[in-house]
Amino acid sequence: MEVAKGPHHTAQTVGLPDSVPTLAELLRDAGYRTIGLAHNAQLDRSLGFSRGFDVFSSDAGPGDDILRRLREQDPFRDPGPVFAYLHFIEPHWPYGGGIARRAESEAVGRFPFHRFRASQWKTLKRELKRGEVSLTAEETRFLRRLYAFAVEEADRVVGRCLAWLDDQGALEKSIVLLTSDHGEELLDHGMIGHGQSLYEELVRVPLILRAGDATRNSLHPGRSDDLASHVDILPTLAEAAGIEITHPISGRSILNGAGPAREHVFSEVKHKRRYQQSVRGRRWKLVREYRFRRDRESNGSGASDYNNLVALFAERPYRSESRLYDLQADPAEARDRFEAEPEVARRLESALDGWWVHLVSHRAAPHHMEEDMIRRLEALGYL
């Protein structure tokens, strides 16, 4: 999300382009009943994320509440196919009460991470970045243990969801896809949280696909080393539903071994005056970072440092640098090989340039967010 904070608590962001059909729209038009339940302000209906859903909420509460609301919808009461999008937020601070209570007995050190609110996380991230504070070994252990508790809570909720589908007689008739929007830095590179870098601990996330025995789809069991991206989700589920996609897309179906293997995957992140892009293949990964000059009219407040990317590149001077990592020899991304491997760097930068040109041509215009959405994003630490 790109955000522009103004002097009067205003903000703007970029939503889904109206010209591009969503997965929910494709499935609804194919006769599916569509339900979207999330607990994340970034999926606000004003940004287009409700398009195609018969039932939608971006403020559906924690995982147990999402499952309760799904059951209340009784989606299998009538014949016909169902598409359910469930977006849990358990492995994301501020952590829920159940996670905090579980962690209480293991809390050590100066920082009660399990009770931190967004403002406290932001303060700690800033102090770590500036070198004003460092965590002890015990504090680091507790931080990582707390995150593990949150992941386990998400796993419990997903397990309850699958068990309910099985009770409804729907599990073996369904395609289930599980993924995550990002991982978490836990001092792997000196920082905590997410949203500030593109290291593998952030962008290499699970993608688990299960085809029920009663579906017409086949999957190779086990773990695959093929590269995949979130842009592959729409064509994968469209193929599972027997829907032909007629508009241009960047992804490919990963069902039934369809199509050639993906050569590269791409990521991006915008954080204040820094914008990073990355491209990786099986072995090599290149990260390119842009740093924009501060807006002198903001009087040092940084209020305009969240402008739309296209406008930033057009209006603000910047400098850039690239880093290259050999993920086979250096999975921790500790040694920059950009100068030592110029041919590899050139090839990956060319791929990144092509991706960026395509991305810019499809970006939607920014628009202002409502005050309620701003407050919900602030509670999650995004503003």
Is the same domain home to 216 and 290? Answer: no
When pLDDT is cut at 50, 70 and 90, the band that residue 110 belongs to is very high
For residue 189, tell me if it sits in a domain.
Answer: yes
**pLDDT digits over 316-337, tens only?**
899 999 999 999 999 999 999 9
Please determine, for residue 1, whether its predicted confidence score (pLDDT) is greater than 60: no
Is the same domain home to 194 and 314? Answer: no
Is the same domain home to 205 and 114? Answer: yes
> 22, 16 in Cβ contact below 8 A?
yes
**What is the phi-psi region of residue 109: left when phi exceeds 0, alpha when psi lies from -120 to 50, beta otherwise?**
left
Give 197 or 46, the one with higher predicted confidence.
197
> In this predicted structure, what is the pLDDT of residue 5?
43
**pLDDT digits over 5-53, tens only?**
444 445 556 678 788 899 999 999 999 999 999 998 888 888 889 999 9
Token code pair at residue 245:
């996609």
For residue 29, tell me if it sits in a domain.
Answer: yes
> In this predicted structure, what is the pLDDT of residue 367?
58
Range 190-193 contact pairs with CB under 8 angstroms and sequence separation of 24 or more: 190/128, 191/125, 191/128, 191/129, 192/121, 192/124, 192/125, 192/128, 192/143, 193/93, 193/121, 193/125, 193/381
On average, the pLDDT of the chain sits at 87
Mean pLDDT of 359-376: 62
Is the same domain home to 96 and 222? Answer: yes
> In this predicted structure, what is the pLDDT of residue 8?
40
Instruction: For the chain, give the number of residues.
Output: 383
Is the same domain home to 66 and 137? Answer: no
> In this predicted structure, what is the pLDDT of residue 352?
96
- Domain containing 105 equals 92-226
Is the same domain home to 82 and 102? Answer: no
Is the same domain home to 324 and 297? Answer: yes
> In this predicted structure, what is the pLDDT of residue 113?
95
Is the same domain home to 96 and 221? Answer: yes
**pLDDT digits over 43-97, tens only?**
888 888 999 999 999 999 999 999 999 999 999 999 999 999 999 999 988 888 8
Q: What does the alpha-carbon distance between residue 47 and residue 35 come to, in Å, rounded to a whole number? A: 17
Domain final residue pick, 69, 89, 109: 89
Is the same domain home to 103 and 71? Answer: no
> In this predicted structure, what is the pLDDT of residue 258?
57
Domain final residue pick, 226, 249, 271: 226
Is the same domain home to 158 and 216? Answer: yes
Number of domains in the chain: 3
> In this predicted structure, what is the pLDDT of residue 241?
92
Domain final residue pick, 89, 120, 135: 89
